[in-house]
Amino acid sequence: MEVNEKIAVDHGLKPDEYKKICDLLKRVPNLTELGIFSAMWNEHCSYKSSRLHLKKLNTKGKKVIQGPGENAGVIDIGDDDAIVFKIESHNHPSFIEPYQGAATGVGGIMRDVFTMGARPIANLNSIHFGSTQHKKTKNLLRGVVKGIGGYGNCIGVPTIAGQTCFDQSYNGNILVNAMTLGLVNKNKIFYSKAAGINKPVIYVGSKTGRDGIHGASMASAIFDDKIEEKKPTVQVGDPFTEKLLLEACLELMSDKSIIAIQDMGAAGLTSSSIEMASKGNLGIELHLDKVPCREEKMSPYEIMLSESQERMLIVLENGKEDSAKKIFDKWNLDFAVIGKTTNTKNIELYFEKEKVANVPIKFLADEAPMYDRPWKKTKLPQKIKFTNNDFKKLKLNEVIKKMLSSSNICSKQWIWEQYDHTVMGDTIQKPGGDAGVVRIHGTRKAVASSVDSSAAYCYAHPLTGGKQVVCESWRNLVSVGAEPVAITNCLNFGNPEKKENMGEFVECIDGINEASKYLNFPVVSGNVSFYNETKDKGIKPTPTIGGVGLIKDYKDLMTMRFKSKENLVLVIGKTEGNLDQSIFANIILDEKKGPPPEINLFNEKNNGETILKIIQEKLALSVHDVSLGGIMIGALKMCIAGSKGIKFYKFKNLTNIYQYFFSEDQGRYIIEVEKNNLKKVESILKKNSVHFDLLGETTDKEIIINDEPTFTVDKVTEFYKGWLYKYMS
């Protein structure tokens, strides 16, 4: 086929990008070469709209072994143990085909982790759907949850935590972000940098088919009416094959025969081979007729761009091919020597003895476009002046019922019950808490992890929203008694060619960076997903933060459940009564304007470190951070988790009970302490200049407000846990 500008544009390239390709090559590329350029230069693989801004991120820290640039980030957790982790998006495929899109998202992120020599020990996910009234929402939710569970459960890795949100901005573009943590000896980490000349290049895993061709390009495109036609670009996953591949790769890694290893993710054989050669400053020669194919008459173009799942590319030491092949034969997986490293610094492809492509690696990697796209700053919105009239007609018990059973606060148990969260036997905090926690097998150490996003805050003011989501992650880890160590981010945005969207991205990055630096909470890996847009309607800016923290002794794990009656309940951190952008303002007062809550990074760090001191001194019985829904929702969740009630003391300080109970002021925690420990806790708080209020005391079953028994704990549990089950039935 004769290649021209129209064909290049059909491949997702811009006319000037096609011209640049022709200028670099000093000729017109053939179809296979064009396909390779389109894969390597699309947004998903080249980060052409985001690279410039991602360079600002704080990526260094005492415990960081590997920051961004590899398959996943790596942190040191002591005793030669390291945690490998990353979060990635699989948004477009999951909207088109929810089961396979979500399943292969989980499979892909696990390969990113075990390709570095780590055994996966935990999965998490952050999923966002359209309005609960939208006709597609239920089916998409059902399909995505089945896909995540189907893959993770079969491979035998626990899903320990997650987050689910609903908002109409996701009606045409849902978000499915998958995260994996793996455990590795820090001296046995594998990287993707090829080294040495004439080293064999090995293909292992499943056979190559026609599924997923143009998957990476589709992930960099805007949806239109022809969305159904894109189904062939969604990959098909097989968790049982992935389990075999995991075990075979880890077995091969115990021998000293691997020079470099890379999973075949987005853009398949193209990106894996080019990334390895580029990092090693080498060339690579591939013989495509040696690639194991499961379909007949596959062309070089199809073989290079297929995104069939459960495949890896390995550069081996010479003479190790036979022993490596035995391992993959034992696990019943394909193993083929398909090429070698060269000193040409080109990718050279052969098919049936004919050279079908020859492109300098640096044209595909270093020369990929990098755009400094125009962007627009978001002004901080004016505060809403709520008056007493806004609250006059409200009844507190009705407000509580409506808040607890609202889609973004209610329990997500219907979802996590479908995931196996106890497989491997090391999960010590299951979903439903502030963070999931897994023990490091055979030790006293445990790792805590959570995923968070706050699209409403980021949409109102991206800079503040970016800061907030990092602080939320920090608080969730602190709440389970973990020292926060590092984060991974999945940055989900609309079309970067629009100034507003690009501005949201730039300012969210600036906010994330500011909080990450101040809290010493570096970014070690991540992913950008642009073009989450359908028919000119983009999603709200949704940066998702996956945080990881360390608990030195798992017996110090803290939970949010109230432990026994007649204990004191304290709110740590100052309540200012800001209702702007709160769930209360949104669903009770129908007010969606105003700025997000202010972030004071000094208070965040100081309050969090003080809470950790109280936990270490064994003075706290339960801890929960105050987030969506404010103090009232936070306290009631602690009641529900512990099956205990609370008697709220008469509140003072603020003009309005609703401002006190439902504001989403940041940097706050609720803690339960024994009465005889109050003086010790007060002394630590005063010494660290941390504000606190006495909120109330725990009861057996009653929720008492203004001296009146308002609900029983069973009743609020029904409001909180019932909504999603009813909705999905």
Active site residues: 44, 90
C-alpha closest to that of 284 among 260, 309, 319: 260
CA distance to 122, 552, 626, per residue, from 181 (Å): 5, 17, 26
- d(CA 661, CA 391) in angstroms, rounded, equals 13
Phi/psi of residue 339, nearest 5 degrees: 175, -160
Beta bridge mates, 572: 669, 692
DSSP assignment letter at 431? T
Maximum C-alpha span of the chain? 87
How many whole angstroms from its chain centre is CA 472?
Answer: 14
Q: Count other Cβ atoms within 10 Å, centred on residue 376.
A: 14
Express the helix, strand and coil content of the chain in percent, nearest 5 each: 40, 25, 40
- d(CA 444, CA 39) in angstroms, rounded, equals 45
- Is 107:312 a contact under the CB 8 Å cutoff? no
Q: Count other Cβ atoms within 10 Å, centred on residue 254.
A: 10
What's the sign of the alpha-carbon dihedral 61, 65, 69, 73? negative
Beta bridge mates, 74: 66, 84
- d(CA 231, CA 241) in angstroms, rounded, equals 22
- d(CA 4, CA 15) in angstroms, rounded, equals 10
- d(CA 323, CA 196) in angstroms, rounded, equals 20
- Is 132:166 a contact under the CB 8 Å cutoff? yes
How many whole angstroms from its chain centre is CA 681?
Answer: 35
Phi/psi of residue 63, nearest 5 degrees: -100, 5
CA distance to 414, 514, 605, 611, 614, per residue, from 600 (Å): 35, 11, 9, 16, 21
Query: Element (H or E) spanning 188, and its range?
Result: none
